[in-house]
Chains A and B, each alone.
Chain A
Amino acid sequence: DTAVSQTPKYLVTQMGNDKSIKCEQNLGHDTMYWYKQDSKKFLKIMFSYNNKELIINETVPNRFSPKSPDKAHLNLHINSLELGDSAVYFCASSQAPDRAEAFFGQGTRLTVV
């Protein structure tokens, strides 16, 4: 069983569309994250949820909206996609916000054309 799984793995879509990326963890962790890795390979945190509550919201356009229906899921919805949104998006989880070991998913490569 994959600890942190994201779907889809690849997503190609046109500008202006709305899309979602799903993330699920089966580790029983309380905290989940979304990271974005751009073309220069920089990994930047976007959001962090603890027990379904938002605890970190970095400077991210409000076209990006995370949703956590339960502790095991943190989905990322993106409205009005732009070319600059093309990146690899990683979901991660940790036992708690103050735990060192985070587990990352395999990533979703989003390409906006």
Chain B
Amino acid sequence: DAKTTQPNSMESNEEEPVHLPCNHSTISGTDYIHWYRQLPSQGPEYVIHGLTSNVNNRMASLAIAEDRKSSTLILHRATLRDAAVYYCILGYYGGSQGNLIFGKGTKLSVKP
């Protein structure tokens, strides 16, 4: 079962920053926080992941709370192409059976 909670939907204006929240109050010490997104009629696409420290890559930034019970995916300047369902997922590492369990995600709409 998914162990994260996200808002069902969010709206943003084009070229404005977007902050997508995720709660994961039952996160364990070995859980990484992953974000994927799924554009309409496409397969999921990896966005970013982190463990404790904030992370940046070319697509987004990930801000992780100090207690790790929540995180925020930051899109610095939303474009129309960023309209998608964003999934926050806890992934287990350290063994041979890591896998990703997807929840309902947040549907992000971007207005021109």
Contacts and interface: CB of A to CB of B under 8 A. Distances in A.
Contact of A92 (B43, B87, B93, B96): B43
A97 B92 CA distance: 9
B98 A98 contact: yes
Contacts of B42: 106-107
In the complex, which of the residues B32, B95, B96, B101 has the most CB atoms of chain A within 10 Å of its own CB atom? B96
B14 to A, nearest CB: 24
A101 B46 contact: yes
A64 interface: no
Contact of B96 (A41, A55, A107): A55
Contacts of A97: 95-99
Interface residues on chain A, size class = 20 to 34
B44 A98 contact: no
**Most chain B beta-carbon neighbours within 10 Å: one of A4, A43, A56, A104:** A43
24 contacts: A33-B99, A42-B104, A43-B38, A43-B102, A44-B102, A45-B99, A45-B100, A45-B101, A50-B96, A55-B96, A55-B97, A56-B97, A90-B43, A90-B44, A97-B98, A97-B99, A98-B93, A98-B95, A99-B98, A100-B91, A101-B46, A102-B44, A106-B43, A107-B42
